[in-house]
Structure 1
């Protein structure tokens, strides 16, 4: 009897402690909405950007060098990747530099070989951003086996190979930041994007599981994980006419340069999860608690189409 009473008292204490912890966490989160954490400096970081040859990756390479970081541009497109590195290097004012490495990140052996070269030639990578993705609009019955495998190799398995290659160095140095990109297709199923949407959900699982693994392993305070949900379409201006919106002000489009600056700010402030634009992260989470019919109706209202022809 006494043991049961003791157990009940312990449980009551734990519940009350949890309640106060939840309240203080909510207050802290609300406070940071109006007073964001101070940004960290990047001058001592070596940043690997996978998918740096074009678009967002190229813009990130430029922004990181302007903030004093050493940048490693990684892509399978050798010529464009070297151009990105040269462009970024010119923005470092002789202080920060950018380098180009050709690598197919879907091939584990290539990633491991590149990691060994970088460690020998430049040093330990402390920030990794994987910008690689592959849109493939088709209903599932029209996807070939090759298409489906390619999507998962680029959007999912590449994260695993990069982690296996570079995370040990971060743990040894007890310093690091891992950034993973998701999209609307990773928060809600999207018509004609079944393989990509599945892969984007997997990216969220990787980010959350990795964060827990680092926390339980004692690295949570030293190695950060940031998951970025990109809701607008990141396109150059000459593609803007191919995008159709029912509510343009809700989603909209954004340039790679603008998206890069928002992502850079999230990295500097060590945010765990962010969206572009920021308010849609909270709306996306709230919508998921609605009844299924309400979710479907909301999707139809906010329907966005892309002309891929």
Structure 2
């Protein structure tokens, strides 16, 4: 088929897609069941990961919970069992590829094939680039993005064989909108968003339509990792709200989950506004949090 004909056929597809998207605004989305699914959540000993585990437990999923903090992960597992779910706790350092692969083998051998993978573990250092130590930069990339590769490579083969599964990437609004004094964190989350998009495309190219993907991108969340965060026009989110939105996105197979949802407008503004106007918009937001700037602790405003 020549290029002209291909372009001609593309037009009705675009029109149909817009009509379909508009109609879906008025039709309730069917939610899938996750009862009995084997769900692995990294970073489940605290914050969003912990509350997400509770959400799955309430839906009768079977849980495999990973975290570097032994006390935290055991607390999460105990609460999940109290909610009536089967929960297995593992102490895993997601910055270490060997630990991930070793724990993954134990899971596959002793528990079964993971069908929902939630790559949630993350670390952050808030500082200007020159004040961010080399080991902190390395750690953020190891946990925030490289760990996604190792966990996905470990559990994707079974999903491919069964054409069934769901891979969740917990990224951040900072993975779409660059943030000063979070250069490394923001870069690692941009990479996580790219990982999600490329993996989604690859699964489509392989014809594996039974394997779904979702990417979570919230603004500041009250997990204690960022100290004293604030942003004009938006509230600091509670982990419960973020986890609830994440589960809703998983159950309805949403590709990109923004919390709050109007963050999508910021992405549009970034593409259409001139550089000077965009800088003024960022300044208007008055983003603040504790950070090390010039080797000194102080509150910064971007």
CA contact (8 A) 1:288 1:295 kept: no
Q: 2:189 aligned with 1:203, yes or no?
A: no
CA contact (8 A) 2:203 2:211 kept: yes
Residue number in structure 2 paired with 1:242: 228
Of 173-182 and 273-282, more deviation after overlay is shown by: 273-282
TM-score using structure 1 length: 0.89
Q: Deviations over 1:107-152 (max 9, x none)?
A: 1221111111111221110111122222211111111111110111
Residue number in structure 1 paired with 2:300: none
Q: Give secondary structure in 1 for the equivalent of 2:126.
A: coil
Residue number in structure 2 paired with 1:187: 176
**Structure 1 pair 279–294 and aligned structure 2 pair: CA distance change class (3 A):** same
Task: After the TM superposition, list the runs of 4 or more consecutive aligned residues in structure 1 that deviate by more than 6 angstroms.
Answer: 238-241
CA contact (8 A) 1:274 1:281 kept: no
Once residues 232 and 68 of structure 2 are traced to their aligned partners in structure 1, the CA distance between those partners, rounded to angstroms, is 36
Shift of 1:305: 0.6
Structural mapping, 1:1-309, within 5 Å: 10-92=2-84, 96-219=85-208, 221-231=209-219, 233-235=220-222, 242-247=228-233, 251-307=234-290
Shift of 1:174: 1.6
- What RMSD in Å do the two structures reach over aligned CA positions? 1.9
**Structure 1 pair 277–35 and aligned structure 2 pair: CA distance change class (3 A):** farther
Rg larger in structure: 1
Residue number in structure 1 paired with 2:294: none
Of 202-211 and 103-112, more deviation after overlay is shown by: 103-112
Name structure 2 gaps, 5 residues minimum: 292-296, 298-302
Once residues 36 and 128 of structure 1 are traced to their aligned partners in structure 2, the CA distance between those partners, rounded to angstroms, is 26
Paired positions, count: 292
Once residues 34 and 234 of structure 1 are traced to their aligned partners in structure 2, the CA distance between those partners, rounded to angstroms, is 30
Shift of 1:36: 4.2
TM-score using structure 2 length: 0.91
CA contact (8 A) 2:269 2:278 kept: no
Q: Give secondary structure in 2 for the equivalent of 1:129.
A: strand
Q: Give secondary structure in 2 for the equivalent of 1:82.
A: helix
CA contact (8 A) 1:75 1:101 kept: yes
CA contact (8 A) 2:32 2:252 kept: yes
Q: Give secondary structure in 2 for the equivalent of 1:215.
A: helix
